[in-house]
Amino acid sequence: MIESLSTLIGPFHIKMLAVLLNATQWTVYLSLTAFIGGGLIGLIFTLLRITPINWIRKLAVAYIWTFQSVPLLMLLFLTGLGIPIFYQINVPPWVAATISLTLFTSAYMSEVWRGALQSINIGQWEAGRALGLGFVNNLRYVIAPQALKIATPPTVGFMVQVIKGTSLAYIIDFNDLMRWGKKIGNSQIDGAEPFIVFPLVALIYFLLCFPLTLLSRRLEQSLNVDSKKIMLTINKGG
């Protein structure tokens, strides 16, 4: 063990770091795509979730419940292994990973925003209606701006979950940070022991996630909102 520590700043480890960092870009691309795609779909379902039309609302509830109750790992397996084998088609890992993470994100984002909307005092809705604004205008000009403020900290916080979620994609051969980390860490090369490689991989993930965590907290404070109360609202199924 001492020998490997002494080669820590050797050329081998620089190379290893370069490989890992290069692979990290795929982690980032996947995270961004899932977050933006999932965010948009989630927004659609937030609106569907609150329409007065019964059957649309029930469908939305079913969708959200489904993708919150299905493990992300299973989504990856189904899209990355299950469907290709069953339908005899080739699904590239990045396609499967993107679809899985996007669906996963959409369900949770939808709930975050629903929670934000619901946490707005009903008096605001009533004030809007009393002024003669219809449902759509009320939503657009009175409620949505306030909901946006409330929803931003937990949304930023969920981005962290998305990044962590990408770490599962290696299992369907997605060549991101985790896949390379595992390859190197589980190889028998001296200097690439698990207790060196995995903390390094963890550090890279940490450097991606922690700034977002801090940002989410700073937003929470400056927007003067308690996102924990929203999570309590969401978690009560409210």
Partner 1 sequence: MFDLRFYEIWREQVFVEKLINGIGTSVSLMILGGIIGFIFGLALATARGSKIGLLRIPSAAFIESIRNTPLIVQLFFVCFGLPMIFEYRWPFFASALLALCLNFSAYYAEIIRAGFENVEYGQSEAARALGLGKNDILAYIVLPQALAKVYPSLVSQFVFLFLTTGIISEVGVEDLTWAGRYIADRNFRDFEVFIVLTIAYALLSVIFRGVLTATGQLVFPWNREK
Report the interface residues with partner 1, using CB under 8 A. 1, 66, 69-74, 77-78, 81-83, 85-87, 160, 164-165, 167-168, 171, 178, 181-182, 185-186, 193-195, 198-199, 201-202, 205-206, 209-210, 213, 228, 231-232, 234-236
- Kindly tell me which of 142 and 160 has the beta carbon lying closer to partner 1: 160
Residues in the chain: 238
CB of 203 to partner 1, least distance (A): 8
Q: Is the distance from CB of 16 to CB of 192 less than 8 angstroms?
A: yes
Please, are residues 119 and 150 in contact by the beta-carbon 8 Å criterion? yes
In whole angstroms, how close is the CB of 89 to partner 1 at the nearest point? Answer: 12
Closest distance to partner 1 from the beta carbon of 134 (Å): 32
The nearest distance, CB 81 to partner 1, in angstroms, is: 5
Query: 């000009």: which residue's tokens?
Result: 141
How far apart are the C-alpha atoms of 130 and 181, rounded to whole Å?
59
Closest listed residue to residue 165, CA positions, set 232, 108, 233: 108
User: What distances in angstroms separate CA 90 from CA 6, 71, 76, 100, one per listed residue?
Assistant: 45, 23, 14, 16
Of 134 and 194, CB closest to partner 1: 194
Choice between 78 and 223, CB closer to partner 1? 78
Give 142 or 209: the residue with its C-beta nearer to partner 1. Answer: 209
Q: Which two tokens stand for residue 227?
A: 């996102």
- φ and ψ at residue 168, rounded to 5 degrees: -85, -15
Residue 41 Cβ vs partner 1, minimum distance, rounded to whole Å: 20
